[in-house]
Chains A and B, each alone.
Chain A
Amino acid sequence: MIELDAIHKTFGDTEVLHDLSLKIETGELAVLIGPSGSGKSTTLKLLNRLLDPDRGCVRLHGEDIRRQAPEQLRRKIGYAIQSVGLFPHWTVEQNIAVVPELQKWPRTRIRERVAELLVLLDMPPAQFLHRYPHQISGGQQQRVGVARALAADPEFLLMDEPFGALDPVTRANLQDELLRIHRLLGKTIVLVTHDLDEAIRLGSRIVIMDQGRIVQQGPAREILLTPANAFVRDFVKPGEIGVRLLGLARVSERVRWSAQATGEALGLNATLREALSAFILQGVACLPVADESGRHVGALHFDDLLEIRA
């Protein structure tokens, strides 16, 4: 559990965080989002003491984080940043091994752990261990960044716009991968982004910030359906709320099992937003649904999308 309690922070004359309090439960994937200057990155940096608050207190599992040395604290908290964060003069293996080495793990255990993480992130170790960051693609660099953050098996993971510099396809793949890892390992993750779609896609809780304050927090659905004020309403773009809501649900939740239909099949795992797109594209109001192996399992009707508010 992460608690921020009545935090104030100023840089010079500018107040960047004003009386900020936030509680993130164990196992949550909390996304901090807001325009630039809203204080979201500053908030993240308070959690591993890259910054200390002027007033207020940060607690992990109830213990004030200022009670341990910053280096000790940080080695227990994974940290990933945009691809520039990899050390350019070190190989993939050396980059991932940083924190275990700082913690003085035995050499063989480090080697095993690095290989294990590369496999987890779908990068064959034999192929990547000895490459330098500039020899691999942006998406691969980002995976290495995530692997490095996970290396010492930290309980908490902080991610500062980790997918910011990637193309949309790679970005979507890595978002899926992060969700998979989150489900698999159950880490408490705090992620900063300025991309609302990313926040909706990843966050079990979205924390919207503006001018150093939290203006609203909750699950994506709640924020889309009941924006707390005009700022949030503008931020979620009123014209796109409908499709964004559809993006939150999967075909598997609405499918009419064993019903029949003709047309190009939807995947069970597709979002309703993708289903909407398919209805429009194919000009029909009913489409078959297939499972991962391509086997027909049922059908989805256009009307099924309309129940999304319920």
Chain B
Amino acid sequence: MKTGRGFLLSLTVLTATLFILPFSDALFHALYPELSQPVYRQDNLTLLLIAHLQIVALSSLPAIFIGVAFGIWVTRPSGAAFRPLAETVLSLVQSIPPVAVLALAVPLLGFGEWPALLALTSYGLLPIAHGTLSGLEALPAELGQTARALGMTRWQTLRRIELPCAMPAIFAGIRTSVVINIGTAALASTVGARTLGLPIIIGLSGFNDAYVIQGALLVALLAICVDQFFVWMGKSVLPGHRS
């Protein structure tokens, strides 16, 4: 019964906020009487949200593929030599804050959407690779061995036994990655991408705190909404797993 309720609730709040914000002059006038334009109207917020989600999707999808593939590779015999190094590097790099990633991306890659996407993808694949790696590594050795002993090929063992059993950890990695990515994508507006970070950036540079609040509110609601979506999806994607 409770399945999906958190998602529906957060989605409702997000949608409502999106519609109410353009008509909230009275509220923000009261909060910031010194501002002549307290409500962000430079862009349509819904279009910004869609653009934001596009950037998240365009960077998260490759991150999922690359991250999972990398996690699989280092747990196979062919990539086993890289595993200790990969583990160290993955946990080390994840301690770099997302802001720093974008700040580093500009001098390296320049301004625009592509550099932003590249930075988001490379940062986003870390939790996914880490989740895949640790999920596969945590499986008892007997599991894969039994599958092989029953006559499964390496590929069948991976696809039918190991990946499904490691799915909770992989899924957790994807969830972490995408949710962080939603926050980081807002920062991509500093390097020229159109996202919900735009009101925040414009607000910060124009000393308009009301803009900052409006942008931050939408980004936060979107992150909660997507997180709840993963919770809901997790229940249907992971049948039979012990809770």
Contact = CB atoms under 8 A, between A and B. Distances in A.
A72 B153 CA distance: 10
Given A84-B142, A89-B164, A89-B165, A132 B149 contact: no
B149 A50 contact: yes
Given A72-B151, A74-B151, A88 B240 contact: yes
B152 interface: yes
Interface residues of B, number: 21
A71 B147 CA distance: 10
B241 A89 contact: yes
Nearest to B156: A102
Interface string A25-36: 000000000000
B153 A71 contact: yes
Given A81-B146, A82-B142, A87 B165 contact: yes
Contact of A148 (B140, B142, B148, B150): B150
A68 to B, nearest CB: 11
A79 B150 contact: yes
A74 B149 contact: yes
A84 B165 CA distance: 13
B135 to A, nearest CB: 13
Nearest to A98: B150
B223 to A, nearest CB: 30
Nearest to B168: A89
Contacts of B147: 87
Contacts of B148: 50, 70, 74
Given A71-B153, A158-B149, 5 more contacts: A74-B148, A74-B151, A88-B242, A90-B240, A102-B152
B143 interface: yes
Contact of A79 (B146, B153, B156): B146
With most chain B CB atoms within 10 A of its CB, the pick from A70, A88, A89 is A89
7 contacts: A87-B146, A88-B165, A88-B242, A89-B164, A89-B240, A134-B242, A148-B150
